[in-house]
Amino acid sequence: MIGADTLAVGRAAKGIGQQAVLSVQGLSVEFGPSGNSVYAVNDVSFDLAEGESLAIVGESGSGKSVTVQTLMGLIRKPPGRVTAGRALFRGRDLLAMPDRELRQIRGRDIAMIFQDPMSSLNPVLTIGLQLTEALREHQGLNDAEAERQALDMLALVGIANAPQRMRAFPHQFSGGQLQRIGIAMALVCKPSILIADEPTTALDVTIQAQIVELVVRLQKQLGMAIIWISHDLSLVAGFVDRVAVMYAGSIVESAPVGDLFSATKHPYTIGLLNSIPSLTAANTRLVPIKGAPPNVTLAPTFCAFAPRCDHAEARCRQARPPLEAAGADQTVACWRWREVERGPRTGAGAADKPAVTAPKQEALLTVTDLKVHFPIRRGVLRRQVGAVHAVDGVSFEVMRGETLALVGESGCGKSTTGRAVLGLERPSAGSIVFEGRNYAGATGEELKQRRRDMQMVFQNPFGSLNPRMTVGRIIGEGLRAQKIGTRASRDARVSELLALVGLREALRNRYPFELSGGQRQRVGIARALAANPKFIIADEPISALDVSIQAQIVNLLDDLKPRLGLTYLFVGHDLSMIRYLSDRVAVMYLGRIVEIGTTKAVFGAPLHPYTRALLSAIPEPDPKAGGTRRRIVLGGGVPDPSKPPPGCHFHPRCPLATEICTKVDPARRDFGSAGTGQHLVACHHAGEATS
Amino acid sequence: MLSYLLRKLLLSIPVLFGVTVIVFAIAHAMPGDAVLAMITAEAPSSEELIAMRRGELGLDQPVYIQYLHWIGQILHGNLGRSFVNGRSVGDIIVERLPMTLELMGVALLVAFVIGTTLGVISALRQYKLTDYSLTLAGFVGVSIPDFFMGLLLVYVFALELRWLPSSGISTAGENFSLLDNLRHLVLPAAALALFRAAIFMRYARAGMLEVLNQSYMRTAKAKGLKPRTITLRHGLRNALIPLVTVFGLALPTLFGGSVVIETIFQWPGIGLMFIDSVVNRDSPVIMGYVLITAIIVMLANLGTDLAYSVLDPRVSYD
């Protein structure tokens, strides 16, 4: 919980021009044989002062990870090659020293935490061994002493029962705990630089808040400098000192965090900020950056952003702009930065979000007391001994023409609910009424009939398209399966759909691997729309996409809705995006809906303590917001859904919980008024102030 | 875990029952029978004598009676008696099985150790000369069938170089000694092992390459560990996990291979016994052999499952 003012004070105290612990100068990295190179990092320079925290922000392929991995000697050579540059760590060049020497710095002076804690810990070794090995390697400690220090570090990162947990294996921990262990592992040798490579990207938003808080606290305690790699400007806005924005392997803008947001100079940074929804500037339409991510196989002899830039001119395509000073402590690499200005959601096509036609008050879909339980079988006879209560009594309505969002953390049952509605999971109980007909548990012809009217857009556009089928076949497959139209009419329909989602007709005969992530998701949307459904279930349709592409897809979904008269059930965890695009929101926790109401009511005046915590954990793309917003950091993680806590499922983590919460499952009460519509909350203490 | 084992064992009962039916059907469907097989060897015989001999062996009864009789014996732990020499099939197998297990065990162990080691080295030197040479050798290894490899080895090492004996388990006329036995073991075991070593090498290489790309290997490197520690402690154990399956699958093919190899090298194990019994149409021995190998293969599969849970803490059976 660092406010902007404390950051400012911290920076002032440090003073400018302080000794840099790390100085990267003109670093360039290429992959592949020369002449056929991928230019991953181009002439990157930055300084990191003692105790400073620097964020390097960029989309996938921007070279941010390659940059730091090169410093650590972690890229594979070949195919990787450092073609230029120095990286001075306390005066010694990391890139020039022999591997033996670098090895002694790695893990001792510069340590790293990684994106996915599940895969970055070795699954077959105990965490005790993995925690102590760096200590034994670098400090020559004996087992007992190494174990003692590892235990101290585990306690510091907040792992309870540390002595017992030392003998456990990674799969016995939750994602949040594993990332804590990953942090402990990196910090055991008390490094002077910690490199955090998207350490919260794989985690839920409340866990993300915990991890950020932990790292910021440890940074103060241990006095280390941090390089925080992220794709999320909003996230780092809250706690870093400086931000360097990377695009296509180059730093395009670098500034103290406050200046970056208030005096943004580079068109790309401006584009990024305009393509993410903000809590303070809701309801202005997102302005996506046009085009697709850059092609890094071209030599960096021009501005890589030019093809996507509204301000580009001839010069931008001919020469690469140098990184030049643009104010105190701010640098920018753009020929035209003096002429570029950023207003609130400016840029081409900025407009208010199209006025939402009030959804008709007629339920298209009514789900009542839906339960999806997955049996747990054990023993010689495979008797059922329990069940994972993935969805545990969920009721909601989706009105014709509206967008209802189901939000919650992983494991809360939101995706299972969506899948059950489409008939991809078999409900254990409850009814699902679509246009007046209950089809819960329907199979065969009846279910097929349903699927004409409802379709799904899937999360991962890379995995959900068959790699052996052309785009045209993928889109038309549903029509064939439903035996709709003739061959010719289906062909015509595919063309129509391609145009509808903004894809060129030429892409029809391509295969998914030839498309970018954004294009693939457009194919996924076209496929879902093929049979003219009335209802679309979108299961985290943008979470696998780059920030600048997310806005394109969100705008597409937004445009299609009134045009085709669609109704959306949007499943997601990105709360700021959900606030932007939904009419009503249902917040789920451990298989149940804890709060449901209009987006305005739920986001404006959340009444359930879980909703409040969830909302307060949303990173806000504004460093000043950190000081005014109170962040409620929930302890612990989501409990095991096969053994949900008695009474209110949320009570073990709830700041308001009292006796009654541990015993009685709270009924839903309507807190809505005429102005806000129905606002149901399942909490004994709904609306009470948190102390 | 215990309940998992129990369930597996229970499930293997119907499988074994199915095996007995198939084995019996095949033994019965073979042209000719034990009596005719003997007659070709002995002097020509009258129809009466043939009928009498068949009556003695129970071959004149309906098939299902013969089967029920046989299965009844098995349930009492009795595999029946050889038609040829009247000895208990159980005794013959108990006598010969250790020979086959010695051959197979040594072959499998050697194949696994050599194959895995070379596979890991190959992966660590990917796209270097070592890797290419080993890959080429591996292709040669998998391309040469067991029997041809056996003949090749006999020709080179026994006939031309005269370094090693070409058949039997010990030198005739000498007292049995372990060293002498091992000298006899080298060629047949090598013939069985080379093909399998090549397979282990392919899988070990692929497994190690996959592990090298895992992010926990990067984490280990980021800690500043020595390359050797990273490879052995963090890499090898993970790379070995998929090899357990290959190991389990190699066992049944070894039984097949040992039949051929024991014949070439006159190794008096159950493989040789099986070939003899097929020639003699000695169906109790044939059926006993197949049943025993089926049981061993099933136990090996169970062992594979157990090995998984030991190597990989994420695997737990219930």
Mark yes or no for CB contact A137/B313 under 8 Å. no
The whole-number pLDDT of residue A288 equals 83
3-state secondary structure chain B: CHHHHHHHHHHHHHHHHHHHHHHHHHHHHCCCCHHHHHHHHCCCCCHHHHHHHHHHHCCCCCHHHHHHHHHHHHHCCCCCECCCCCCEHHHHHHHHHHHHHHHHHHHHHHHHHHHHHHHHHHHHCCCCHHHHHHHHHHHHHHHCCHHHHHHHHHHHHHHHCCCCCCCCCCCCCCCCCHHHHHHHHHHHHHHHHHHHHHHHHHHHHHHHHHHHCCHHHHHHHHCCCCHHHHHHHHHHHHHHHHHHHHHHHHHHHHHHHHHHHHHHCCCCCHHHHHHHHHHCCCHHHHHHHHHHHHHHHHHHHHHHHHHHHHHCCCCCCC
Q: How far apart are CA A590 and CA A582, in angstroms?
A: 22
CATH of the domain at A416: 3.40.50.300
Mark yes or no for CB contact A185/B223 under 8 Å. yes
Per-residue pLDDT tens over the stretch A657-689: 888 999 888 988 888 877 778 899 999 988 787
Name which of B218, B238, B318 is nearest A74 (Cβ-Cβ). Answer: B218
Mark yes or no for CB contact A137/B226 under 8 Å. yes
Per-residue pLDDT tens over the stretch A14-26: 444 467 899 999 9
Evaluate whether residue A282 is within a structural domain: no
- Quick check: A619 pLDDT over 60? yes
The whole-number pLDDT of residue B45 equals 64
The whole-number pLDDT of residue B41 equals 55
Mark yes or no for CB contact A125/B218 under 8 Å. no
Domain boundary pick from A213, A241, A262? A262
The whole-number pLDDT of residue A2 equals 40
Instruction: Report the amino acid identity of residue B309.
Output: S
Say which residue, A502 or B54, is predicted with more confidence.
Answer: A502
- Quick check: B206 pLDDT over 90? yes
Q: How far apart are CA B238 and CA B253, in angstroms?
A: 25
Mark yes or no for CB contact A74/B222 under 8 Å. yes
Per-residue pLDDT tens over the stretch A623-639: 765 545 567 777 777 78
In this prediction the pTM is 0.81
- Quick check: A335 pLDDT over 50? yes
Mark yes or no for CB contact B223/A137 under 8 Å. yes
Domain residue spans of chain B:
99-279
Sign of the CA dihedral running A213, A216, A219, A221: negative
Residue A378 at interface with chain B, using a CB cutoff of 8 Å:
yes
For chain A, helix, strand, coil in percent to 5 are 35, 25, 45
Q: Hey, what CATH class is B99-279 in? A: mainly alpha
The whole-number pLDDT of residue A358 equals 58
- Quick check: B120 pLDDT over 70? yes
Residues of A in contact with B223 (CB under 8 A): 106-107, 111, 133-134, 137, 185
Evaluate whether residue A170 is within a structural domain: no
Instruction: Report the amino acid identity of residue B34.
Output: A
Name which of B3, B225, B312 is nearest A379 (Cβ-Cβ). Answer: B3
Task: Let me know whether A624 and A511 are in one domain.
Answer: yes
Name which of B221, B222, B314 is nearest A123 (Cβ-Cβ). Answer: B314
Q: Please tell me the least confidently modeled range out of A62-66, A362-366, A486-490, B83-87.
A: B83-87
Q: What is the mean pLDDT of chain A?
A: 85
Domain boundary pick from A220, A238, A262? A262
* Overall average pLDDT of the A531-550 stretch: 87
Mark yes or no for CB contact B313/A124 under 8 Å. yes
Q: How far apart are CA B145 and CA B100, in angstroms?
A: 19
CA distance B2 to chain A (A): 9
Evaluate whether residue A309 is within a structural domain: no
What confidence tier does A534 reach under pLDDT thresholds 50, 70, 90? very high
Per-residue pLDDT tens over the stretch A260-271: 888 888 999 998
Say which residue, A460 or A11, is predicted with more confidence.
Answer: A460
Evaluate whether residue A195 is within a structural domain: yes
The whole-number pLDDT of residue A346 equals 42
Residues of B in contact with A171 (CB under 8 A): 313-314
Per-residue pLDDT tens over the stretch A312-329: 888 888 888 988 888 888
Closest A-chain CA to B126: A78
- Quick check: B302 pLDDT over 80? yes
Mark yes or no for CB contact A121/B225 under 8 Å. no
Q: Residue count of chain B, please give it.
A: 318
| Token output for A591 | 């298989």
Q: How far apart are CA B31 and CA B29, in angstroms?
A: 6
Residue A74 at interface with chain B, using a CB cutoff of 8 Å:
yes
Q: Which residue has the tokens 């969100």?
A: A554
Per-residue pLDDT tens over the stretch A336-361: 888 887 655 543 344 455 545 555 67
Task: Let me know whether A374 and A249 are in one domain.
Answer: no
CA distance B221 to chain A (A): 7
Task: Let me know whether A431 and A573 are in one domain.
Answer: yes
Q: What is the domain extent for residue A10?
A: 4-109+191-262
Q: How far apart are CA A70 and CA A89, in angstroms?
A: 13
Residue A601 at interface with chain B, using a CB cutoff of 8 Å:
no
- Quick check: B8 pLDDT over 70? yes
Residue A380 at interface with chain B, using a CB cutoff of 8 Å:
yes
- Quick check: A11 pLDDT over 50? no
Residues of A in contact with B311 (CB under 8 A): 124
Mark yes or no for CB contact A114/B218 under 8 Å. yes
- Quick check: B136 pLDDT over 90? yes
Closest B-chain CA to A104: B224
| Token output for A169 | 């294996």
- Quick check: A282 pLDDT over 70? no
Evaluate whether residue A320 is within a structural domain: no
* Overall average pLDDT of the A83-101 stretch: 91
The whole-number pLDDT of residue A339 equals 82
- Quick check: B200 pLDDT over 50? yes
Name which of B6, B10, B223 is nearest A133 (Cβ-Cβ). Answer: B223
Domain count, chain A: 2
Mark yes or no for CB contact B215/A137 under 8 Å. no
Residues of A in contact with B232 (CB under 8 A): none
CA distance A115 to chain B (A): 9
* Contact residues, chain B to chain A, C-beta under 8 Å: 3, 6-7, 10, 214-216, 218-226, 229, 233-234, 237-238, 241, 311-314, 318
Domain boundary pick from A217, A245, A262? A262
Highest mean pLDDT out of A42-51, B30-39, B251-260: A42-51
Q: What is the mean pLDDT of chain B?
A: 86
Q: Please tell me the least confidently modeled range out of A280-289, A367-376, A432-441, B80-89.
A: A280-289
CA distance B170 to chain A (A): 45
Closest A-chain CA to B226: A103
The whole-number pLDDT of residue A15 equals 43
- Quick check: B181 pLDDT over 90? no
- Quick check: A622 pLDDT over 90? no
Residues of B in contact with A122 (CB under 8 A): 216, 219-220, 234, 238
* Overall average pLDDT of the A540-551 stretch: 84
Q: Report the residue of A94, A120, A188 to disrupt the B interface, i.e. the one with the largest count of B CBs within 10 Å.
A: A120
Highest mean pLDDT out of A155-159, A366-370, A433-437: A366-370
User: How many inter-chain contacts (A to B, CB under 8 Å) are there?
Assistant: 88
CA distance B184 to chain A (A): 41
The whole-number pLDDT of residue A348 equals 38
Residues of A in contact with B220 (CB under 8 A): 122
Mark yes or no for CB contact B313/A105 under 8 Å. no
Query: At A22, which helix (H) or strand (E)?
Result: strand A20-31
3-state secondary structure A627-686: HHCCCCCCCCCCCCCCCCCCCCCCHHHCCCCCHHHHCCCCCEEECCCCCCCCEEEECCCC
- Partners of A286 in beta bridges: none
Q: Report the residue of B211, B219, B225, B238 to disrupt the A interface, i.e. the one with the largest count of A CBs within 10 Å.
A: B219
Task: Let me know whether A540 and A659 are in one domain.
Answer: yes
Per-residue pLDDT tens over the stretch A219-259: 988 899 999 999 888 888 888 999 999 999 999 999 999 88
- Which contacts of B270-277 are long-range, i.e. CB under 8 A and separated by 24 or more positions? B270/B93, B270/B96, B270/B97, B270/B99, B270/B100, B271/B100, B272/B96, B273/B92, B273/B93, B273/B96, B277/B82, B277/B84
C-alpha radius of gyration, chain A, whole number: 26
